[in-house]
Amino acid sequence: MDQIFAFDDRLLNAAAAAEKAAEEQFAEIGRIAQHGTAKVLRAFQKYRVSAACFAGANGYGYDDVGRDTLDKVWADVFHTEDALVRHHFVSGTHALSTALFGVLRTGDTLISVTGAPYDTLEEVIGIRGSGSGSLADFGIQYKQLDLTAEGRPDYDAIPQAVRGARVVYLQRSRGYSLRPALTVPDIRRIVTLTRQTNPEAVIMVDNCYGEFVEYDEPTDAGADLIIGSLIKNPGGGIAETGGYIAGRAKLVEQCAYRLTCVGMGKEVGCSLNQCRAMYLGLFMAPEVVANARKTGVFAAELFRQLGFECLPEAGSTAGDIITVLMLRTPEAMEAFCAGIQAGSPVDSYVTPEAWDMPGYESKVIMAAGTFTGGASIELSADGPMRAPYAVYLQGGLTYSSGKLGILTAAQRMLDTGRL
Ligand SMILES: *Cc1c(COP(=O)(O)O)cnc(C)c1O
């Protein structure tokens, strides 16, 4: 380590040991990035991406070549029939909500087979909040197959549970939970079990935080629709906002009808000046995801050295970019998050405080000094202020900056007596 930042020797020694322990994982992450980059590069070539695609369009956006070509490129990368990649999605939750309202009809049943969905979706579904305007309000029934005590899908129960459901919903990432992320092989198993009793079900995957983490994507495992945010993995830290839905053409069209209007769907919605950032972001994404993964692996190995439990467990396959550090006390969480903030390139001088974030059930503390507001592909740490005081760490546009951020956080814990 260079001497620009003065970290304690104890931390520097632990960091060296952590990088040694991470060598094999880093090598595998590099191989996955190489594969992801090849997929993206080939798609750009196949669909003849050119400067004309970056020019953008205004008004209604008829024949918006940048937008239409990006949809094709995206579908090619994720091996789907079609895709809807839009800056008009205000967030991942909006894209997920659009997909659910796009596909489900009154009288249909939605079943989540990975337990409780991400916090922000509870109000969309209508299991929290006033319910007004939710899926429940439109007569869509919600069922949930809880995870096992080990936080794994209840595979044996899936064939029976999904009978009659229109949408079988899976969340790939762990989200704010301690269960492991689903890997693509896990998803393949769920798809197979679902098809045994419900071949017609739409298998929808919340793919947030999962893109480019493995060689394959859920759509390679038979999922019908995947949904995600462009200020997470597939935006590569470059896309300024947006989300995507990709999968079977008929379903993507239904989602486009919901996003814009019935009959207009994908034909409208101008790209404005967002195209270049979305293309460049997708191009960068496999490598940026690798940097984020390496940052997370480094953090886990470092905090193991320092005596904390961390997830994913050593030796397990990652399915998302999240690393969980079990910091055990609210004070340690605050010190860690303050250090992540202080180690950021943007807003390094502010101190994060826990607050009642809209859509979340308990107070949440968030540290993020990002170029793009709320972009969690950039180094960020957050967590609900509740036992077991686990901090969820994700992002890192470059490994070098990610590592400095983690060390700054550890140093802050040391300085405040939390290590
Ligand atoms: C981030 C996330 C969402 C919601 O995305 P927002 O962009 O924050 O609305 C949904 N599911 C998972 C697993 C996520 O990580």
Provide the CATH number for the domain around residue 17.
Answer: 3.90.1150.60
Token digits of residue 26: 């880093």
pLDDT tens digits for 243-261? 999 999 999 999 999 999 9
> Is the pLDDT confidence value at 37 over 90?
yes
Tell whether 267 is covered by a domain.
Answer: yes
Residue nearest to atom 2 of ligand 1 (CA): 208
- For residues 335 and 213, membership in a common domain is answered with no
Ligand 1 centroid–CA 181 distance in Å is 14
Residue 236 belongs to some domain of the structure: yes
When pLDDT is averaged across residues 370-374 and rounded to a whole number, the result is 96
Which atom number of ligand 1 is nearest to the Cα of residue 229?
7
* Same domain, yes or no: 303 and 267: no
Residue 306 placed within a domain: yes
pLDDT in tens, 131-178: 999 999 999 999 999 999 999 999 999 999 999 999 999 999 998 889
Average pLDDT score over the chain: 96
Ligand 1 centroid, distance to 2 Cα (angstroms): 36
Residues 97 and 29 occupy one common structural domain:
no
Co-location of 136 and 73 in the same domain = yes
Distance 99 CA to ligand 1 centre (A): 14
Ligand 1 centroid to Cα of residue 7, in Å, is 34
In the sheet that holds 364-368, the strands lie side by side as 310-311, 323-326, 390-394, 380-384, 364-368
Residue at which a domain ends, from 263, 282, 301: 282
Query: What total of structural domains would you count in the chain?
Result: 2
Same-domain pairing of 236 and 356: no
Instruction: Tell whether 50 and 96 lie within a shared domain.
Output: yes
- Please indicate, yes or no, if residue 2 is contained in any of the structural domains: no
Does 314 have pLDDT greater than 90? no
Residue 116 lies in a domain: yes
Asked if 377 and 238 sit in the same domain, the reply is: no
Establish if 1 belongs to a structural domain. no
**Sheet-wide strand order for 82-86:** 82-86, 243-247, 225-229, 202-206, 167-171, 109-112, 141-144
Report CA Rg, the chain. 21
Q: Which pLDDT score, from 0 to 100, does residue 168 have?
A: 98
State the closest ligand 1 atom to the C-alpha of 121, by its place in the atom list counted from 1. 10
Domain presence at residue 325: yes
Residue 8's pLDDT band, with cuts at 50, 70 and 90, is: very high
Contact 401, 345 (CB under 8 A): yes
Whether 361 has a pLDDT exceeding 90, the answer reads no
Mark whether 275 and 318 lie in a shared domain. no
Residue 362 confidence (pLDDT): 80
Close Cβ partners of 50 (under 8 Å, ≥ 6 residues apart): none
142 and 195 belong to one structural domain: yes
Q: How confident is the model at residue 359 (pLDDT cuts 50, 70, 90)?
A: low
4, part of any domain: no
Atom of ligand 1 nearest to the CA of 231: 7
Q: pLDDT digit string (tens) for 220-248?
A: 999 999 999 999 999 999 999 999 999 99
Q: Of 264, 282, 300, which one is at a domain's C-terminal end?
A: 282
Q: Are both 190 and 335 inside the same structural domain?
A: no
Question: Phi, psi at residue 245, to the nearest 5°?
Answer: -135, 130
Which range marks the domain in which residue 128 is found? 41-282
Give, using CA atoms, the residue closest to atom 7 of ligand 1.
92
- Using the 3D structure, point to which of 255, 282, 309 is the last residue of a domain: 282
Q: Are residues 326 and 254 in the same domain?
A: no
Decide: 372 in ligand 1 pocket, CB within 6 A: no
Q: Tell me, what CATH number does 198's domain have?
A: 3.40.640.10
CA of 376 to the centre of ligand 1 (A): 10
311 and 270 in a common domain: no
